[in-house]
Amino acid sequence: MSLLKIANLSGGYGDVDIISGIDMDVGAKEIVTIAGTNGAGKSTLIKAAMGILPRISGTMVFDGIDLMKLQIEDRVRIGISYVPQVRNVFGTLTVLENLQVVEHAPAKAARIRDMFDLFPALAGRRGTYAENLSGGERQQLAFARALMSSPRLILLDEPSAALSPALTDQVFEEVKRLPQADVAVLMVEQRARQALAFSDRGYILDAGRIVLSDTGANLLANEEMGDVYIGRGQVQAAPQSPSSHI
Ligand SMILES: Nc1ncnc2c1ncn2[C@@H]1O[C@H](COP(=O)(O)OP(=O)(O)OP(=O)(O)O)[C@@H](O)[C@H]1O
Ligand SMILES: [Mg+2]
């Protein structure tokens, strides 16, 4: 049975549909990657799943629960968590404070200890303001914040954005470990080749519609899709983006 099942989902920010007729499944403990060109609607789709897209129609069911009427807080409560593409930590709070301010985290002190075990680099930086973290550390903190609520599904919007290839590898290693902790992953990635290599399945989005879905391995082998949507050859370093903090 699917953990998350999306059917015929359409929606946008105003009258225009940015995503249209989306059918998508994420199983328990699965890693699923969404790839596609800039502006295809990938972040919009993730926002719809989290309940922060202003207008949607269709159906979304999580663990047997109808999501369509649930606000973001309720989605967090039932086990969905979200790491936005930008502004995913509070720059003017310390690492520890970033974890302490997370709501819907029962047994918070114990959970923070778990997060420091999981991300030892953060443990040594607990008093550092998030705006002074390296890109990789900041991404780890964003992850840790999302894991505080013990989600069963985590929505990741470009976890490798603005990271060097080495830090990308590090973050991807953490993504790969999530299913062992019973966390399923629905992830948007520009570094699609690299992400699909460890994804159970993938969806290719173009102009707001799914144009292809298959196993990660089959998508990588698909010659037709290769050049346009997932890129061939050398993985390029992402351009540096300004530091993101609220
Ligand atoms: N808050 C918003 N209000 C209005 N339009 C928006 C908003 N956010 C995104 N859009 C529009 O929706 C479309 C899809 O944007 P989205 O951010 O989902 O693309 P994306 O696939 O995530 O792109 P990228 O790879 O650049 O992150 C774009 O045309 C964008 O201009
Ligand atoms: Mg995006």
Residue 235 falls inside a structural domain: no
According to the model, what pLDDT value does residue 231 have?
64
- The CATH number linked to 15 is 3.40.50.300
If one counts the domains in the chain, the total is 1
Range of the domain at 74: 2-230
Residue 243 falls inside a structural domain: no
Distance CA 12, CA 64 (A): 25
C-alpha distances in Å from residue 61, one per residue of 13, 27, 47, 142, 147: 22, 12, 15, 25, 21
Q: Is the dihedral of CA 119, 242, 73, 17 positive or negative?
A: negative
Q: Whose CA is nearest to atom 3 of ligand 1?
A: 13
44 lines ligand 1 (CB under 6 A): yes
Q: What is the pLDDT along the chain (246 residues), one digit of tens a residue?
A: 799 999 999 999 999 999 999 999 999 999 999 999 999 999 999 999 999 999 999 999 999 999 998 999 999 999 999 998 888 899 999 999 999 999 888 899 999 999 999 888 999 999 999 999 988 899 899 999 999 999 999 999 999 887 888 888 988 998 999 999 999 999 999 999 999 999 999 999 999 999 999 999 999 998 777 666 776 543 343 444 444 333
Residue 244 falls inside a structural domain: no
3-state secondary structure of 134: coil
Structure tokens at 124: 């040594």
Distance CA 244, CA 135 (A): 9
Q: Separation of 152 CA from ligand 1 center, angstroms? A: 26
Longest dimension (CA), the chain: 50
Ligand 1 test: best mutation among 13, 15, 186, 190, most atoms within 8 Å of CB?
A: 13
Residue 240 falls inside a structural domain: no
Structure tokens at 50: 């989290």
Q: Whose CA is nearest to atom 17 of ligand 1?
A: 43
According to the model, what pLDDT value does residue 1 have?
76
